[in-house]
Amino acid sequence: MDDSRIQKPNLGYPYEFTLNELDAAQQCIEAHGFAIIKKVLCDELVKELQESVQQVLDPDNALGAGNSFTHSAFIEDSPTMWKLLDHEPYLRAQRTFCLSEDLAILRTAAILRNPGSAPLAWHSDFCGFSNDPPKFSGDILNRGPWPSGLWFYITGSNPEHGGLALIEDSHLEDWTPPEGFQFTPDRRSFHKKGTEPDRYVGFDVPGLVPIITDPCDQIVFASRTYHAAFPNRTDRVRLSCAIIYRPRAYRIEAPWPLSVKAQAFLKALPLRLQPFVEGYVGIDNDWSGEQGKMG
Ligand SMILES: O=C(O)CCC(=O)C(=O)O
Ligand SMILES: [Fe+2]
């Protein structure tokens, strides 16, 4: 299928909401696993976030055509992201989606996808399908019921530009892959029946919703929702960033120490914002659960 012709889909239910329709948005997330919130950011903040993602992830434009880069503790390097924590209309929305009045930062991310960059395979961020001992940082961080996706695609999301795709209703605990597909052994992805059990890359999956947004919109998806990213077939970089929250009372026991950079972030954050970093554990992308055993 030529996915360049995919139009904003009519799904038979509303999935775009304003900041004045948060209850309806939350109901859509509960029913279908996602929602789009229109005009959450002003143009000025969009511009500042674009500059910050570019500056932190690829300051010298050296990444090169066809490449992508993900920063998995973006807020530690981007004081511009702190502005979100002072943005009451945005915060009210995050409280609604996380079902908590008292939010704390779980993790943050920014992604830069250059022109020509490859698609991202289908997956769920949720790591609670297995009770095996944790093997990477996601197994520690991504097990809660809060939304996994609270993204700003600050250069817009659409199928030509490396935008997001997701599968409606795939957040439900009894969801199974559509006709012709089966779960990968870890359940975090699926593949075509009769093929290798690798995460599927392709946009011919029944139930696929191409997400089409403006740079000021927020894309929300539920804890388990399966999603993927289209390749970037434009001549413009694709930028995105997110803060994922946990209810403050939900503590994370991280087996890795706080990095020097994480400590500096905690120290630099203004006093009024300190409640957002209560119990902050940062992330260690190299942690594999093996250190203790090997040591
Ligand atoms: O690149 C994207 O748009 C999605 C990224 C994503 O799903 C992830 O980092 O888990
Ligand atoms: Fe993801």
pLDDT tens-digit map of 53-97:
999 999 999 999 999 999 999 999 999 999 999 999 999 999 999
**In this predicted structure, what is the pLDDT of residue 240?**
98
pLDDT > 60? residue 105: yes
Average pLDDT rounded to a whole number, residues 26-31 = 98
180-189: long-range pairs with CB below 8 Å, 24+: 181/205, 186/129, 186/130, 187/124, 187/129, 187/130, 188/123, 188/124, 188/126, 188/127, 188/129, 189/121, 189/122, 189/123, 189/124, 189/226
pLDDT attached to residue 265: 98
Consecutive H or E run containing 166? strand 164-167
- Element at 71 (helix H, strand E): strand 68-71
- Asked if residue 227 has its Cβ within 6 Å of ligand 1, the reply is yes
How many Å lie between the centroid of ligand 1 and the Cα of residue 272? 31
Residue 2's pLDDT band (boundaries 50, 70, 90)? Answer: very low
**So what's the pLDDT on residue 291?**
56
CA 232 to chain centre: 17
3-state secondary structure of 58: coil
Confidence of residue 295 (pLDDT cuts 50, 70, 90): very low
Q: Does residue 6 have a pLDDT over 90? A: no
Q: Which ligand is nearest to the CA of 120?
A: 1
At 7 the pLDDT is 78
Which residues have CB less than 5 Å away from ligand 2 (the ion)? Answer: 125
What distance lies between CA 140 and its chain's CA centroid?
16
Q: Please work out whether the CB of residue 105 comes within 6 Å of at least one atom of ligand 1.
A: no
Could you tell me which residues come within 8 angstroms of residue 64 by beta carbon, excluding any fewer than 6 positions away?
Answer: 114
Task: Classify residue 254 by burial, with Cβ atoms within 10 Å: 0-12, 13-18, 19+.
Answer: middle
Percentage above 70 pLDDT, the chain: 96
Q: Which CATH code of 3.30.450.40, 3.30.70.20, 3.40.50.2000, 2.60.120.620 fits the domain covering 3-173+209-294?
A: 2.60.120.620
Asked whether 125 lines ligand 1 (CB < 6 A), one says yes
Using pLDDT thresholds of 50, 70 and 90, give the confidence band for residue 290: confident
State the Cα angle at 283 between 185 and 107, rounded to 5°: 85
Mean pLDDT score of the chain: 96
What's the pTM?
0.96
Ligand 1 within 6 A of 242 CB?
no
Ligand closest in space to the Cα of 189: 2
Interval 181-233: pLDDT, tens: 999 999 999 999 999 999 999 999 999 999 999 999 999 999 999 999 999 99
> Average pLDDT in the 102-119 region?
98
Tell me: pLDDT of 1 over 50: no
Bridge partners, residue 182, by sequence: 191
Protein residue with least CA distance to atom 6, ligand 1: 228
